[in-house]
Amino acid sequence: MAEDPYTATYREYVAAIYELSEEGLAPIRARIADWLGVSRASVSEMTRKMEADGLVEKGTEIALTPKGRHLAEVVVRRHRLAERFLAEVLGLPWVKVHAEAEVWELAISDDVEAAMLAKLGQPTTCPHGNPIPGAGYRQPQLQQMSEMGSEPRFLHRVSEELELDNGIMGFLDESGLRPGARVELVARTPDGTLTVSVHDGDRVGVSPFIAERLFLADSPV
């Protein structure tokens, strides 16, 4: 084998492909490059190695093989579990846990994962509402905030794509737009910008980009 498929770089790539698919986005080379902040040439070279090692199949899209999906689920599970641990046990601010968990996810062993799950009471989602793989979580019917109507809804999930942007996450935190928040549409402009009331209180302007990546449910988390 040319390279150990369990290196940090392989883990980063399989997680990116998994998360793109989870968001309903085709994992093509350009999207993977944007998601990871690398060049398309780097994606082409890395996915060539991953294909040789049996982690992906390449076509128009980059698809995880069963082996690749298993590795991705391990990485994503430990990342989201680390986010919960950092937020709930260590008290790290919600907006900071994603970046820290990217470091932790690579160091968590099977035994530590089991201990963290027990300590946290077998959580099913990360602090941002994204499912923890293997937790047996059944996600309710969700709607993008961009598509919401006049009925109040509850924020259920924040896209992984938004978690990559500290500025956006800080805005969501300051605005109270966290899972469980009651949201009601106040106004919608022609360009798709929304004004929403959060918890029957402050009114917040939400751009189309953000509104398309916040997911609402009929009831609280």
The residues with which 140 forms a beta bridge, in sequence order, are: none
Strands 153-158 and 194-198: unpaired
When the candidates are 3.40.50.1100, 3.40.50.300, 3.90.550.10, 1.10.10.10, the CATH number that belongs to 81-136 is 1.10.10.10
C-alpha span between 50 and 94 (Å, rounded): 33
Does domain 143-217 fall under CATH 2.30.30.90? My reply is yes
Structure token pair of residue 176: 């109270």
Question: What DSSP state is assigned to residue 129?
Answer: S
C-alpha span between 159 and 153 (Å, rounded): 17
Q: Does the pLDDT value for residue 3 go beyond 60? A: no
pTM: 0.88
Separation of CA 137 from chain center: 15
What percentage of the chain has pLDDT greater than the value 90?
Answer: 81
What was the pLDDT predicted at 63?
Answer: 95
What was the pLDDT predicted at 6?
Answer: 66
The pLDDT confidence band at residue 106, using thresholds 50, 70 and 90, is confident
The residues with which 185 forms a beta bridge, in sequence order, are: 196
Whole-number mean pLDDT of the chain?
92
Instruction: Write out the residue limits of the CATH 2.30.30.90 domain(s) in the chain.
Output: 143-217
Instruction: Write out the residue limits of the CATH 1.10.10.10 domain(s) in the chain.
Output: 8-64, 81-136
Which residues contact residue 197 at a Cβ distance below 8 angstroms, ignoring those fewer than 6 apart? 183, 184, 186, 203, 204
Q: Does the pLDDT value for residue 96 go beyond 60? A: yes
C-alpha span between 18 and 25 (Å, rounded): 10
DSSP string, 110-129: HHHHHHHHHHTTS-SB-TTS
Summarize the confidence of residues 156-174 as an average pLDDT. 93
Q: Does the pLDDT value for residue 202 go beyond 90? A: no
Q: Does the pLDDT value for residue 177 go beyond 60? A: yes
CATH architecture group of domain 8-64 = Orthogonal Bundle (1.10)
C-alpha span between 216 and 153 (Å, rounded): 6
Specify burial of residue 9 (Cβ count, 10 A radius: 0-12, 13-18, 19+). middle
What was the pLDDT predicted at 151?
Answer: 94
Summarize the confidence of residues 1-24 as an average pLDDT. 80
Report yes or no: 214 and 198 within 8 Å, Cβ to Cβ. Answer: no
What was the pLDDT predicted at 164?
Answer: 87
What percentage of the chain has pLDDT greater than the value 70?
Answer: 97
The pLDDT confidence band at residue 111, using thresholds 50, 70 and 90, is very high
pLDDT in tens, 46-85: 999 999 999 999 988 999 999 999 999 999 999 999 999 9
